[in-house]
């Protein structure tokens, strides 16, 4: 069994690919699993660390404009397709799967030219350009949100499989995690904006913390991200808030034990990346979603809408975000445990708990039907 995976640039594209690879390796220890990525993407670190071979190609994303840069990138893309054809001829995979990002494009295109079975996994509710362009060429489009169907051609072969989620999220127990984290009975709010940090979100949360910390009514864990960590504590000190005096406020750069922290939370404030939303669904957590406006096709907004329309989350667009609005929204939700419970149940009703198994089954079916 030979599998070639393509995806990268960001953790949101490579982590699902790694989850798929790990699942296959557990069930088929003799499987030959390899990746295609770029020299600069995060896959260059994560894939070798996970123990998989990585082919590297040069390819770049396009901006929707006519420019010399885009013309140059077009020639680089053509060269990348030829490199991928060479890789595929030498490796001879049974199936090729892309998990999004511009690196998926030349790999899947080359595979379809050579008659290899192909699938693409789309993490977001609003599909990326690569997924839409390739949807008529690949054998299967694997979607994570049912809402995605309307963005593809009606003849596209699709399967709803969800987003692969870290198995630790499935088995984290709320009360056990609260005890481990040293929490008391007060509500526990968790907020974060990504590994790099989100400036507007961090500024708003800092002001929100300044509003509520002296009251001591809630426990609050906030991850600032890499860049927020450099200035956010100083912003609070300038507001007269010494975090050392408020043990119920836990500010850190990154939440490494996210499964425990999310399991313990009563309410989560975050961006609307596809994998994060998958975790909220699996764990059945109510949330306030503030989608990033700085992403392609505003796809986080569509992700957030999928949950908010189902009554599983409150959506606040960044342009409307203020500390006062955030505080009012948090206060209203925490004052109504029944609403929080309903939101959590609706989130969990959207979860696909066996996502990786479904993807594995789809890949196996493709191999079984190979001409």
342 labelled binding-site residue: no
Checking if the pLDDT of 57 tops 60, the result is: yes
Both tokens of 130, joined, read 């690569």
The more confident residue out of 128 and 75 is 128
Checking if the pLDDT of 70 tops 60, the result is: no
10 labelled binding-site residue: yes
Mean pLDDT of all residues in 281-304: 93
**Which range (55-69, 166-180, 195-209) has the least confidence?**
55-69
pLDDT for res 63: 58
355 labelled binding-site residue: no
Residue 150 to residue 125: CA distance in whole angstroms: 10
Domains and CATH numbers, the chain: 2-163+353-368 (3.40.50.2000), 168-349 (3.40.50.2000)
Mean pLDDT of all residues in 94-114: 93
pLDDT for res 190: 98
219 labelled binding-site residue: no
9 labelled binding-site residue: no
Per-residue pLDDT band at 74 (split at 50, 70, 90): low
pLDDT in tens, 117-127: 999 999 999 99
257 labelled binding-site residue: no
pLDDT for res 101: 80
159 labelled binding-site residue: no
């Amino acid at each position: 069994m030979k599998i070639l995976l393509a995806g990268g640039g960001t953790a949101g594209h490579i982590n699902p690919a790694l989850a798929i690879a790990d699942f296959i390796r557990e069930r088929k220890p003799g499987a030959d699993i390899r990746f295609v990525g770029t020299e600069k993407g995060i896959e260059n670190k994560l894939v070798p660390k996970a123990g998989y071979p990585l082919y590297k190609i040069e390819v770049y994303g396009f901006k929707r404009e006519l420019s010399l840069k885009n013309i140059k990138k077009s020639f680089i893309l053509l060269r990348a397709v030829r490199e991928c054809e060479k890789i595929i001829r030498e490796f001879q995979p049974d199936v090729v799967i892309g998990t999004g990002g511009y690196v998926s494009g030349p790999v899947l295109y080359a595979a379809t030219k050579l008659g290899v079975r192909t699938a693409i996994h789309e993490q977001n509710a609003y599909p990326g350009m690569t997924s839409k362009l390739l949807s008529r060429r690949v054998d299967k489009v694997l979607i994570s949100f049912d809402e995605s169907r309307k963005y593809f051609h009606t003849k596209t072969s699709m399967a709803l499989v969800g987003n692969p989620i870290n198995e630790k999220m499935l088995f984290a127990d709320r009360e056990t995690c609260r005890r481990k984290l040293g929490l008391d009975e007060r509500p526990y709010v968790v907020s974060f904006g990504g590994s790099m940090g989100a400036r507007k979100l961090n500024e708003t949360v800092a002001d929100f913390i300044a509003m509520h910390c002296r009251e001591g009514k809630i426990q609050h864990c906030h991850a600032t991200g890499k860049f927020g960590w450099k200035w956010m504590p100083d912003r609070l000190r300038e507001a007269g808030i010494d975090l050392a005096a408020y043990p119920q406020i836990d500010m850190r750069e990154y939440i490494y034990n996210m499964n425990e922290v999310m399991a313990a939370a009563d309410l989560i404030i975050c961006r609307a990346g596809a994998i994060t939303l998958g975790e909220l669904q699996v764990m059945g957590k109510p949330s306030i979603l503030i989608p990033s406006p700085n992403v392609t096709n505003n796809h986080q907004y569509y992700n957030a809408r999928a949950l908010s329309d189902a009554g599983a989350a409150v959506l606040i667009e960044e342009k409307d975000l203020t500390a006062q609005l955030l505080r009012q929204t948090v206060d209203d939700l925490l004052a109504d445990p029944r609403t929080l419970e309903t939101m959590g149940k609706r989130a969990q009703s959207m979860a696909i708990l066996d996502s990786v198994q479904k993807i594995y089954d789809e890949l196996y079916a493709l191999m079984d039907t190979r001409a």
